[in-house]
Structures are given as C-alpha cells and as structure tokens.
C-alpha cells in the first residue's frame, strides 16, 4: 500500500493567512485609488491633494509589514538558499527554527519598544507633518503588525519543531503522482 501524498505548500499554510491576503488587497486598492485621484486632480486643476503623499507613505509601510507577516507565515522570508537548503534535513530544520526564533525575538522587541513610541505620540499630542492628524494614528500600527509578525514566526517555529512544515524544496523533490 502506498503512503499518502505529500500535501502541497498551499495546504501546509495556516488558513488564517486570509487576514494578510485581504489586508494586502485592501491596502493596494487604497493606494491605487489615492494615486489615481491625485493624478486626476493634478491633471484637471494643476494642483494636487496635499494629504495623498502622507497617506501613501503610511500605506506602503503598512503593506511592507503585512507582506512580511505573510512571508514569515509561509516560510518565504529572505534567506541564503545555499545555507538554508544545503546539508542534511536536520540541519535545514534547525536553521529554519533558528530563523523563526530570531524573527520572533526581533519583532517581539520591536512590538514592545514601539508601544512606548505610540504612548509618547499620544501623550505629547504629536501631529503628522502633512495633514496634522494625531501621529499615533499612524504609529499604533507598528506594534500591532510587529506582534502579528511575532505570532506568525512563533507559529512557524512550532510547525518546524513538530516537523509539519516542509520547505518548498522538499516538496519539489517529492512530486506528486
């Protein structure tokens, strides 16, 4: 009797990645709409919306953090494949676990320290330079998205330690019939 087929990488992904996928779609759509509106206004009136640059910069930073969370959860973050995929399976597993633990530690520290930044922005009444809204409206998202990345890295570490998250190279070596 043959063994069960290896699940595809999409079946190994956490189902809750829909959050990052939908947030990516929403942020990209907002960026496109803001940019399109600014182009139309600039074309017809020779002036532009002053607030579009500030909002666009914020959305691009949010998009980078959201994409980082999805990349960590899918184990597709940046690494040197020669070291990550080379050697034994145990070595690859341990390096992946080390990478996930390091990412979790880094973004956990960022989440904790950025709470202080948000508090200072709120306490001192800092406003954004472009449109004058409270700065904490923007900075509040750094600890939230950093905590999300931390949770995704911890989840990846747990999946790797249990041996349930195979790398894409391992699934490519064992093609399904």
Q: Where are the domains of the chain?
A: 16-168
| Per-residue model confidence (pLDDT) at position 174 | 41
pTM over the 0.95 mark: no
| Per-residue model confidence (pLDDT) at position 108 | 98
| Per-residue model confidence (pLDDT) at position 13 | 55
8 A C-beta contact, residue 134 and residue 125? yes
For the chain, which ranges sit under pLDDT 50?
A: 1-11, 165-177
The CA distance from 153 to 32, in Å, is: 30
| Per-residue model confidence (pLDDT) at position 150 | 97
User: Would you put residue 75 in left (φ > 0), alpha (ψ -120 to 50) or beta?
Assistant: left
Q: Residue 108 is encoded by which pair of tokens?
A: 């956990």
Tracing tokens 């880094």 back to the chain, one arrives at 106
Q: Is 134 helix (H, G, I), strand (E, B) or coil?
A: strand
| Per-residue model confidence (pLDDT) at position 5 | 44
């Amino acid at each position: 009797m043959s063994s069960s087929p290896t699940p595809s990488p999409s079946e190994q992904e956490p189902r809750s990645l829909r959050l990052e996928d939908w947030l990516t779609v929403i942020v990209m759509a907002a960026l496109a709409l803001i940019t399109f509106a600014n182009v139309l206004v600039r074309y017809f009136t020779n002036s532009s919306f002053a607030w579009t640059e500030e909002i666009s910069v914020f959305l691009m930073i949010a998009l980078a953090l959201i994409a980082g969370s999805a990349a960590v959860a899918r184990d597709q973050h940046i690494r040197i494949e020669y070291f990550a995929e080379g050697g034994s399976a145990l070595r690859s597993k341990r390096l992946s676990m080390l990478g996930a633990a390091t990412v979790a530690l880094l973004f956990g520290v960022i989440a904790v320290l950025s709470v202080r930044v948000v508090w200072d922005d709120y306490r001192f009444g800092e406003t954004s330079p472009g449109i004058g809204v409270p700065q904490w409206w923007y900075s509040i998202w750094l600890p939230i998205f950093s905590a999300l990345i931390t949770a995704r890295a911890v989840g990846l570490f747990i999946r790797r330690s249990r041996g349930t998250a195979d790398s894409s190279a391992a699934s490519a070596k064992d093609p399904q019939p």
